[in-house]
Chain A
Amino acid sequence: MKTILGRDHPLAVSGFAGPALILFGVFVLLPLLLAAAATFTNHRLVSPEPTRYIGLDNYTRLLALQVTTVAPLRDAAGDLQRDEEGLRYPTWRQVRQARPELAGYRPAWQFELGERRVVLAATDPLFYRSLINTFLFALLVLPLQCGVALGLALLVNQRMAGRIFFRTVYFAPVVTSMVVASIVWSFMLNTDRGLVNELLRALTGNPDAGPDWLGESSHALLAIAIMSAWQGAGFQMLVFLAGLQSISSELYEAATLMGANAWQRFVHVTLPGLRNTIVFVLVSTMLMAFGLFTQVDVMTSGGPLDSTTTVVYHAVRSGFRQQDIGYGSTITVVFFGIVLLVSLLQRVLLAKGANK
């Protein structure tokens, strides 16, 4: 008599799932738990002193936040002091000496509201800057990269000579190492002799044209976003291409027979046909954008003025370069929570969209 195990039999299930679960446990779950445990300690990479339990200290240092306002400086007569950049404000250290409750806080974000300066102060302002930058990057790169990818996919899906060649060309940046791409791009974006600025100078005829792409806080993140979109778009292009080719050509023929022009075919046949592909591409691009690290590390080191520092970069800098493993783990665990929330939110929104 022989036993035939059904596909639903517990033994069969565990037999198939077991190896994957073991690997998952050892390489994903265990490190996560270890990191979570480290967040409650002052564990250091290099230290002769034993690791101590410090409760929620790491979390309060990471997340503590206060909003405060600072009045501008006045001279002896009580008039407002000004210099070439406008009103003069006391330095943060002076502010804090006057207000002891702000001890340990530093400004993360500030803007002028009339004559007063509103300051968002945190014990780790760099974390909030990093968080804002990370979301800003995702916001910049998401439409850019997905739009370019869709455009490229439509292009190379045409029945024309040499399309395999173009597919290869557009895909090439994806297989290039990010470090190499970053180095090449930092040459191209160089202020003085970079390709981009030389091009601008030739076009405008102005020898001083061209911004300092990676040296000015207003341009650096945008430059990195454009570069990342260029590097990553080839991959999404392939996914879109697969999606495009799964749309039956009869639908297009029917649409053409009914008198639809190219734009109408795109809106009413292509886009609905690509719905699941688009969802997948958006979600995966978003998650990849949250992991931004290599470009920042190679091209700007988080500068200028923290305008390109990201959460992952901040975690690596705290954990390894400043040797503060406990704190670095706290950053990653908190960020893990945030990313989890964002993906849940996406799921809920998409599920709603699908029910319509």
Chain B
Amino acid sequence: MKLVLSPLLAIFASHALAAPVEIKAWRHDTGDAEMVASGRMVERFNRSQDRWKVVVESIPQGSYTESVTAASLVGHLPCVMTIDQPAVPNFAWAGNIRPLDDLLPAAVVAPLLPGGRGVYDGRLYSVGQFDVVLALFARRSALAREGVRVATIEQPYTAQELYAIAAKAKRAGRYRFPLDLNGKAKGEWVSYGFSPWFQSAGADLIDRADYRRVDGVLNGAPALGVARYYARLFKERLAERNPADEKGFEQGRSLIQYTGSWKARDYAERFGDDLAVMPPPDFGHGPRVGAASWQWAIARNCRHPEGAAAFLAHVVSAPEMAAMSRATGLIPVTEEAAALTERYRPGGEGRIYFDFTARYAVPRPATPAYPAISAAFEKAMSDLRGGKDPDEAMDEAVEAIEYDIARNNGYRNIHAREAARK
């Protein structure tokens, strides 16, 4: 931290006599461990120098994005705020946040893995401390009882194999719903969890060449294959449509759970060596997982961007990243920070998650249309669960997305053009 901050501190030293300038920050309210760790991180920043003082307000996660949207409408955004990374291009396009390329030193940005960056139109708009990955969780003893092998990075389950395992377990009668697809989670989980299946089959949410074409991408042959597969899991009752809770796997009601690494620590404590952490299923092009989680960005109307930038540099410094990871179990997004943690350093017990991010991570499409894409995709997947014809469901999603793009004039980047004109 010292190393990274010292050039910044040198610049600020001349102003050091004045009272610190307050910098307002908003963050989404998550679990206690993360909030406490985040609070300590801010405290350390405030103590490390006396020019800036970051004051954090936390807002419930459920209504966080709405709050930020509302604040942006009336021009009351705080200087610094957290944003879920896939929504970053939308905020950048709307002109609410500013590029960080000139604000953050290259030495701070360079080590960040893709999971730590929020990029739109070639510029960096947000940086993050941690990432999560997707994985299949199972108990070795339960797999052995069903006569099923444990999948590895070298040999992940193919989609067909996973289906066969579930069908076999269902027939054996020990599980009413052998697969747990984390069906209780809604909202962004659906896109986060299942768009990698499409990417693994060679499809995608949108053509990433120009972020305009959806037809033939989200409803092409590979995509339809995944859609049919997904629909079949529910139709044959291998997975539950509306689970009552999120404890199916913990309580032994399902054989294999597909969810995010945020569960990893709980499961490791509960099952110990019996826990098998496996890569997501392979639909033909290797397993894929979504990249990037919540990140930090600076508002365009922030009056002290250099102070906000100093805070962000502090946030993504290796010791801070490592401290957050230690407190919450989340995966750090630089090699250096990973090496500082027990869990994620080479040979650490959580290293496999770090390997998953390094090998499988695909960022979600960096386009302002992402919220609309995600909403349409979520709707299509929910219709598939309900039994809709896969061709119709995917066609509908394609049309909803195309309509949204057309209604927004193709999401032209107005601010980049204005900047170019100047």
Partners in one complex: yes
User: A297-313 vs B: 1/0 string, CB under 8 Å?
Assistant: 00001011111000000
Q: Decide if B186 touches A194 in the complex (CB within 8 Å).
A: no
Q: Decide if A91 touches B395 in the complex (CB within 8 Å).
A: yes
Q: Decide if B242 touches A106 in the complex (CB within 8 Å).
A: no
Nearest residue, chain B, Cβ from A85: B389
B177, B244, B391, B392: the one contacting A194 at CB < 8 Å is B244
Q: Decide if A212 touches B241 in the complex (CB within 8 Å).
A: yes
Q: Identify the interface centre among B72, B396, B404: most chain A CB within 10 Å of its CB.
A: B396
B69, B240, B383: the one contacting A305 at CB < 8 Å is B383
Chain B residues 380-419 with CB under 8 Å of chain A are 382-383, 385-389, 391-392, 395-396, 399, 404, 407-409, 412, 414-415
Chain A residues 278-318 with CB under 8 Å of chain B are 301, 303-307
B94: shortest Cβ distance to chain A, in Å? 4
Q: Identify the interface centre among A92, A212, A216, A304: most chain B CB within 10 Å of its CB.
A: A304
Nearest residue, chain A, Cβ from B404: A322
Q: Identify the interface centre among B186, B371, B415: most chain A CB within 10 Å of its CB.
A: B371
- The A contact surface, by secondary structure, is loop
A106, A215, A323: the one contacting B396 at CB < 8 Å is A106
Q: Decide if B408 touches A49 in the complex (CB within 8 Å).
A: yes
B241, B243, B414: the one contacting A48 at CB < 8 Å is B414
Q: Decide if A45 touches B95 in the complex (CB within 8 Å).
A: no
Q: Decide if A49 touches B392 in the complex (CB within 8 Å).
A: no
Nearest residue, chain B, Cβ from A107: B392
A106 to B253, CA, bound (A): 40
Nearest residue, chain A, Cβ from B400: A322
A305-B244 contact in complex given A49-B408, A320-B66, C-beta closer than 8 Å: no
Q: Decide if A190 touches B66 in the complex (CB within 8 Å).
A: no
Q: Decide if A46 touches B94 in the complex (CB within 8 Å).
A: yes
Q: Chain A residues with Cβ under 8 A from B242's Cβ?
A: 186, 190-191, 212, 214-215
A303-B382 contact in complex given A47-B408, A106-B399, C-beta closer than 8 Å: yes
Q: Decide if B244 touches A190 in the complex (CB within 8 Å).
A: yes
Q: Chain B residues with Cβ under 8 A from A320's Cβ?
A: 66
Nearest residue, chain A, Cβ from B371: A323
Say whether B153 faces chain A, with CB atoms less than 8 Å apart.
no
Q: Identify the interface centre among B94, B253, B371: most chain A CB within 10 Å of its CB.
A: B94
Q: Decide if B389 touches A91 in the complex (CB within 8 Å).
A: yes
Q: Decide if B241 touches A191 in the complex (CB within 8 Å).
A: yes
User: A35-49 vs B: 1/0 string, CB under 8 Å?
Assistant: 000000010111111
Q: Chain A residues with Cβ under 8 A from B412's Cβ?
A: 49
Chain A residues 43-93 with CB under 8 Å of chain B are 44-49, 91-93
Q: Decide if A192 touches B392 in the complex (CB within 8 Å).
A: no
Chain A residues 137-192 with CB under 8 Å of chain B are 186-187, 190-192
Chain B residues 68-108 with CB under 8 Å of chain A are 69, 72-73, 90-91, 93-96
Say whether A270 faces chain B, with CB atoms less than 8 Å apart.
no
- The B contact surface, by secondary structure, is helix
A48, A187, A217: the one contacting B94 at CB < 8 Å is A48
User: A192-208 vs B: 1/0 string, CB under 8 Å?
Assistant: 11100000000000000
Q: Decide if A191 touches B240 in the complex (CB within 8 Å).
A: yes
Say whether B176 faces chain A, with CB atoms less than 8 Å apart.
yes
A49 to B66, CA, bound (A): 20
Q: Chain A residues with Cβ under 8 A from B395's Cβ?
A: 91-93
B90, B372, B409: the one contacting A49 at CB < 8 Å is B409
Q: Decide if B94 touches A304 in the complex (CB within 8 Å).
A: no
Q: Identify the interface centre among B176, B242, B409: most chain A CB within 10 Å of its CB.
A: B242
Q: Decide if B94 touches A47 in the complex (CB within 8 Å).
A: yes
Q: Chain A residues with Cβ under 8 A from B72's Cβ?
A: 46
Q: Decide if B375 touches A321 in the complex (CB within 8 Å).
A: yes
A216 to B234, CA, bound (A): 12
B376: shortest Cβ distance to chain A, in Å? 9
A192-B371 contact in complex given A46-B94, A106-B399, C-beta closer than 8 Å: no
A321 to B378, CA, bound (A): 12
A52: shortest Cβ distance to chain B, in Å? 10
A322-B375 contact in complex given A49-B409, A192-B176, A303-B383, C-beta closer than 8 Å: yes
Q: Chain A residues with Cβ under 8 A from B391's Cβ?
A: 91, 93
B89: shortest Cβ distance to chain A, in Å? 12
Q: Chain B residues with Cβ under 8 A from A47's Cβ?
A: 94, 408
A49, A91, A190, A212: the one contacting B414 at CB < 8 Å is A49
A187 to B389, CA, bound (A): 28
Q: Decide if B408 touches A92 in the complex (CB within 8 Å).
A: no
Chain A residues 305-341 with CB under 8 Å of chain B are 305-307, 320-324
Instruction: List, sorted by A's number, 15 A–B pairs whose CB atoms are closer than 8 Å.
Output: A42-B407, A46-B94, A48-B95, A91-B389, A91-B395, A92-B395, A93-B391, A93-B395, A186-B244, A303-B385, A304-B382, A304-B386, A321-B375, A323-B69, A323-B371
Name the 9 nearest CB pairs between A and B, nearest first: A304-B386, A215-B241, A190-B244, A305-B386, A46-B94, A91-B391, A48-B414, A48-B95, A93-B395
B interface, CB within 8 angstroms of A: 66, 69, 72-73, 90-91, 93-96, 176-177, 186, 240-244, 253, 371-372, 375, 382-383, 385-389, 391-392, 395-396, 399, 404, 407-409, 412, 414-415
Q: Assuming A49-B414, A91-B392, what are 20 further A-B pairs, CB within 8 angstroms?
A: A45-B73, A46-B72, A46-B91, A46-B94, A49-B412, A92-B395, A93-B395, A190-B242, A190-B243, A191-B241, A192-B243, A212-B242, A217-B387, A303-B382, A303-B383, A303-B386, A304-B382, A304-B383, A322-B371, A324-B407
A interface, CB within 8 angstroms of B: 42, 44-49, 91-93, 106, 186-187, 190-194, 212, 214-217, 301, 303-307, 320-324
